[in-house]
Amino acid sequence: MKILLLTVTLRASWVHSLKEKRMVVKSIVQKLKNKFNISVAEVAEQDIHQIIVIGIAGICGTTAQVDSTMENVITFIEGNTDAEIIDIQKE
């Protein structure tokens, strides 16, 4: 059993309030949870309007599954939000 840990930092330059940011975060978090059955939450920079930091955790059977799921999650985020990925930390 392997553990998937991923932190994705996004920049949403069009966001001008925490309310707008919250809408973007809730949308992407819920989509990720539904599609991949993983744990997802905003983990840092919660008071900064244009920066979104999402923590992702999951359990996989093999290292190959971890790598595949990680790539699929990143691709999904790129395709389902207008925010730009500025950093990805894998563990």
15 contacts 51 by C-beta, under 8 angstroms: no
* pLDDT, position 91: 80
- What domains are there in the chain, each with its CATH number? 2-90 (3.30.70.1120)
Confidence of residue 45 (pLDDT cuts 50, 70, 90): confident
CA–CA separation, 35 and 39 (whole Å):
11
- Helix H or strand E segment including 85: strand 84-90
Percent of the chain's residues with pLDDT above 90: 45
Mean confidence (pLDDT) of the chain: 90
CA dist 82 → 11, 15, 61 (Å): 9, 11, 32
* pLDDT, position 57: 94
How much is the pTM? 0.84
73 contacts 36 by C-beta, under 8 angstroms: yes
